[in-house]
Amino acid sequence: MAKRAVEQAVKVKPRAEVGRLVRLCVAAWLVPGCGHLMLGRKWRALILFVSILSMFLLGIAMQGELFKAHSASYLERLGFFGEMAVGVAMPAALFFGYSGGNPFFVSADYGTAFLVAAGMLNVLAILDAYDIARGRKT
Amino acid sequence: MTSPEWLVPVTWRSPLENVLQMATSHFTAMLLFAFFVSVVFGLLSKDTPRQRVIYGAKVFGAFMGIALLLGWIMYPIPW
């Protein structure tokens, strides 16, 4: 009887769990560090937010290229997904008037690398938040 | 026929682009890149603050050291 009570207490509804994880990953994607904030890891969230967003802003300052989804080149399409991984920062930059980069600017290539790397770091942050939510990490 | 965007004078660009412009050398760009990547790697890979700082410093040192080493290896190449 006691064993059954323990088993019932431990059982988690799978749909609710999946929904929670999806919401966590979407939040972590949209705003860097938000997933960790939802899990209560405030300092980790703040450091991730500042680092990833700083990389993105440095990429913008260096006039890095914002790739387009409908590009003829597969590499540019990959670059678009890399930059979209930062979340709302990319559409926000376009909304506030960033023209998508100046390839003739002296630091433009470095800027592009910063923009894509910021997206990739956010992917790591999303995966970390997922692992913490699943209990695989502390 | 409209002129390409890169011919537009700087004053006609958006305020975001006028305010945010940073021309860096390769070394400075490499330094900044290595710093931010090391911070994130250290934070996500280790558990205690001490371990994170040590690992982040190792990653940063590896980034800079290997980049400088490769630079010197490529230095004699004429093209």
Least confident window among A24-38, A96-110, A124-138, B14-28: B14-28
The predicted-structure confidence for A11-64, as pLDDT tens digits, reads as follows 556 777 899 999 999 999 999 999 999 999 999 999 999 999 999 999 999 999
Tell me the domain boundaries of chain B. 23-79
- Are B33 and A113 within 8 A, CB to CB? yes
- Token pair of A115 as six digits: 């923009």
**Residue of chain B whose Cα is closest to the Cα of A53:** B36
CB contact under 8 A, A52 and B40: yes
pLDDT tens sequence across B3-53: 455 554 444 455 555 556 777 788 899 999 999 999 999 999 999 999 999
Tally of structural domains, chain A: 1
Kindly state whether residue A101 falls inside one of the protein's structural domains.
yes
Taken in order A86, A91, A93, A99, the sign of the CA dihedral is positive
Instruction: Give the count of alpha carbons within 13 A of A130, CB side only.
Output: 14
Closest to A30 measured CA to CA, from A81, A89, A72, A70: A89
Looking at the partner chain, which of A55, A63, A97 has a beta carbon nearest the beta carbon of B36? A55
In a domain, A123, yes or no: yes
Across the interface, whether the CB atoms of A125 and B23 are under 8 A apart is answered no
ipTM attached to this prediction: 0.84
- Spatial neighbors of B7 by CB under 8 A, at least 6 apart, are none
Structure tokens given for A97: 């008037």
More confident call, B1 vs A85: A85
A65 vs B: CB within 8 A: no
Q: In this complex, do A61 and B20 lie within 8 Å of one another by their Cβ atoms?
A: yes
In a domain, A93, yes or no: yes
This prediction has a pTM of 0.82
Per-residue pLDDT, A71: 84
Q: Where in the sequence is the domain holding A98, given as residue range(s)?
A: 16-134
